[in-house]
Amino acid sequence: ACRQARAADLPVVRADLLGPIRDGVVDIVVCNPPYLPTNPGDEWGDWMERALSGGETGRAVVDPFLADLRRVLAPGGQAFLLVSSLTGVDAVREEARANGLTTMVVASESHSFEKLVVLGLRPSRPD
């Protein structure tokens, strides 16, 4: 994805979440984190498992992302976060609210064992 974006002259940052990004400079963040609840004893250890496993709650990456998101968003900035019904969409929305973010469902798609939801996120109040 990074290689394709660079080929299209889009600026890309590949990082461990938002840590290296300066405060207040990002207009749009798109996050497709590992979001499936996974018992550590059931992990396969291959790349696909790492791409999907969100820890026991499914929020091992989601919660730290939400905790730091407001810091990097530029004025008027927004984010889009993919989560699964297996992760607990309401719990994710509550965590977002606890971190000063307003959420809205912008898309959803049902599958045989889960519903995928894209949440739109914006700061709920100015810093």
Q: What is the pLDDT of residue 125?
A: 72
Domains of the chain: 22-123 (3.40.50.150)
Q: What is the pLDDT of residue 127?
A: 53
Residues 37 and 56 sit within 8 Å (Cβ to Cβ): yes
Q: What is the pTM of this model?
A: 0.84
Calculate the dihedral angle through the C-alpha atoms of 33, 117, 114, 39, rounding to the nearest 10 degrees: 30
Residues of the chain with pLDDT under 50: none
Q: What is the pLDDT of residue 34?
A: 86
HEC-encoded secondary structure of 5-33: HHHCCCCCCCCCCCCCCCCCCEEEEEECC
Q: What is the pLDDT of residue 13?
A: 75
Other Cβ atoms closer than 10 A to 49: 14
Residues making up the chain, counted from first to last: 127
Sign of CA dihedral 56, 104, 108, 10: negative
Residues 92 and 118 sit within 8 Å (Cβ to Cβ): no
Q: For strands 73-84 and 101-110, give the pairing.
A: unpaired
Q: What is the pLDDT of residue 123?
A: 96
